Structure 1
Amino acid sequence: MLIESLWRYPVKGMTGEKIYETALMPGQPIAGDRRYAISIGGDKVANSPAGTWFKKGHFLQLMSHEALAALSCVVQGDHLQISKDGLQLLEANLAYATDVAAVESFFSFYMNEHMPGRLHGMPKVVRLDNQAFTDTNAPWITLGGSASIEAYAAATNTTPDARRFRLNMMIKTDTPFHEASLIGHDIMVGAAHLRIVAPVGRCAAIDVDPATAKRGQDTLSIMRDVFGHTDLGVFAEILSSGTARTGDSITIL
């Protein structure tokens, strides 16, 4: 097996960045992955201490806010750029309170325009520095096999697109769901030691086409009928540090 591509998703629910390499650190997610999230305006997030992890239901995310998929997001450090259809809509430095307020106002306007009634109040930008706003509060990364993506696409009559599943590391595989056989095993990615710990159970977010930002058919029911499960990808815990690069081989220990 080898790494086909690497991804990080700086803002929860928004488009990802394809990267060539990334440092893997014990007890850490991919650097910069899901560092930021935008709340739906609930008081619980607004009144909680900075750095508090919450479940995805508190945030704008693709399971219920597919309009996010139309926004292209690039984050370098604290510098955020948001564009749509090639047109830049917003530029902000998230280290400054005035810029954070501008981002919150942008999402309030955007969501009320495109998906009215989905906010509970003014959105709030939140950040985690040593964790990620993933669907688990454990600092794990995610891996998935290319053959699994292709099998899903064939079963659902969709275009194979790894972005639909928002995995950190895509592995070149020949057998669908081969990565699931690695659960409970340790692997080496370059000098980094990882342990595969659990499957990634899917939600309705995968019904959103990342190319069109449109929600399609219920593909979870198709997965149940065709595959007997709704898992695609696996969680991995980083046990020792190293650098992962596109094209690196993966060794099962």
Structure 2
Amino acid sequence: MKLAALWRHPIKSHGREALTEVTLSPGQTMPWDRRWAVAHEAAKIDGDGWAHCANFSRAAKEPSLMAITATSDEAENRVTLRHPDLAPLRFDPDNEAQAFLDWIRPLMSEGRAQPARLVRAPGRGMTDSDFPSISLLNRASHDAVASHLGREDLSMERWRGNLHIEGAEAWEEFSWLGRSLRIGEAILDIRERITRCMATTANPATGERDADTLGALRDGFGHQEFGVYAVVRQGGTLRRGDTVEVL
């Protein structure tokens, strides 16, 4: 098995970014993955720290967000966002949040809680899991879902994972629960399956809902899960093309 792709999402649900390598630290999320999240005006957040995804603007409720791509400049603490219907935006999320809120507003539906502020969880990313996680996806499982839907063009990016693995059997990743993987210099402990939501029904190129991924999972495979969450036990650098070994 090999590591086929690496992705991170600097602002939760607001842009994906491809990487060629990354260095992981024990017990931490991928650097700059879900570093910020967009709290909406109905959020119930008490202070800083991790919070449930229901407090944030997200693609499960607003599919147009799926079409955002991102590029990060860590040295300058800036993120550049692009969407097919908007001009690019380059900004500092810690100091120029209003520029982002103004930029994203045209994509938001009326009658829904609007984006209000950018927040962070000190020391970790704002992942959907309540523990700092890295998400792993199996390309063969994706191909199985695409085949069930009759959609050869189904993009794997709609699952919004961190690490894409190729060379495994379809759904083999579920057998890794309680075991560990060595990828490059790092060792990851596989913790739990990822339950999926409506975000995956949206096309990451257009931001339009165009595939019943949840129905495909339920009807074709008897569950609503895709991918697994892992915890970094041993840190180190991962590079695209690295061998993946089950320990």
Shift of 1:203: 1.2
Contact preservation (8 Å) 1:67, 1:214? yes
Q: What is the count of residue pairs matched by the alignment?
A: 244
Contact preservation (8 Å) 2:145, 2:216? no
1:100-249 alignment runs, 5 A limit: 100-107=97-104, 109-112=105-108, 115-119=109-113, 123-158=116-151, 159-249=153-243
Contact preservation (8 Å) 1:40, 1:118? no
Q: What RMSD, in angstroms, separates the aligned Cα atoms of the two structures? A: 1.8
Cα distance change of structure 1 residues 105 and 85 upon mapping to structure 2, 3 Å threshold: closer
Cα distance change of structure 1 residues 80 and 229 upon mapping to structure 2, 3 Å threshold: same
Question: Any idea what SS the aligned residue of 1:209 has?
Answer: coil
Q: Tell me what 2:47 maps to.
A: 49
Q: Deviations over 1:110-148 (max 9, x none)?
A: 245xx11112x5511112342122111200101111101
Q: Which moved more, 1:122-131 or 1:83-92?
A: 83-92
Q: Tell me what 2:93 maps to.
A: 94
Contact preservation (8 Å) 2:141, 2:169? yes
Measure, in 2, the Cα distance between the counterparts of 1:43 and 1:182: 35
Q: Tell me what 1:79 maps to.
A: 78
Measure, in 1, the Cα distance between the counterparts of 2:186 and 2:47: 33
Q: Which amino acid counterpart does residue 222 of structure 1 have in structure 2?
A: A
Structure 1: runs of 5 or more not aligned: none
Whether 1:17 aligns to 2:17 is yes
Q: Tell me what 1:30 maps to.
A: 30
Question: Any idea what SS the aligned residue of 2:44 has?
Answer: helix
Identity of aligned residues (%): 30
- Normalized against structure 1, the TM-score is what? 0.89
Measure, in 1, the Cα distance between the counterparts of 2:202 and 2:23: 30
Contact preservation (8 Å) 2:183, 2:245? yes
Measure, in 2, the Cα distance between the counterparts of 1:28 and 1:143: 15
Contact preservation (8 Å) 1:81, 1:88? no
Cα distance change of structure 1 residues 54 and 142 upon mapping to structure 2, 3 Å threshold: same
- Normalized against structure 2, the TM-score is what? 0.91
Structure 2: runs of 5 or more not aligned: none
Shift of 1:200: 1.0
Measure, in 2, the Cα distance between the counterparts of 1:71 and 1:242: 29
Measure, in 2, the Cα distance between the counterparts of 1:210 and 1:198: 25
